[in-house]
Amino acid sequence: MQTFFVQIKCRLGKTYEVATALADAEIASEIYSTAGNYDILAKFHLDDEHDIGHFVGEKVQTLPGIQDTLTVITFKAF
């Protein structure tokens, strides 16, 4: 199982719409509102045979209202 986080920058005024669309898609295990350069932090889990880049490009970045993303891949939980 791969765990990774995606920081999402939304178009102005679209943060709640993006968060709702992300929740409705049921692809993130956790979704947080954040302050700073990005508006949302989402946590994902994928089976090892799935490619994170394809998943983010096809399932996350295609949601309406997203301007930019930053993916953080994790290696080990402590």
pLDDT for res 76: 85
CA-nearest of 19, 12, 47, 59 to 71 is: 59
pTM of the model: 0.93
- DSSP bridge pairs for 64: none
- What is 2-73's CATH topology? Alpha-Beta Plaits (3.30.70)
pLDDT for res 28: 98
Q: How far is CA 71 from CA 13, 38, 42, 68, in A?
A: 22, 12, 10, 10
| CA neighbours closer than 13 Å in the CB half-sphere of residue 29 | 8
pLDDT for res 32: 98
Instruction: Tell me if 5 sits within 8 A of 74, measured CB to CB.
Output: yes
Where do the domains of the chain lie?
A: 2-73
List the chain pLDDT tens, one digit each, 78 residues. 999 999 999 999 999 999 999 999 999 999 999 999 999 999 999 999 999 999 999 999 999 999 999 999 998 878
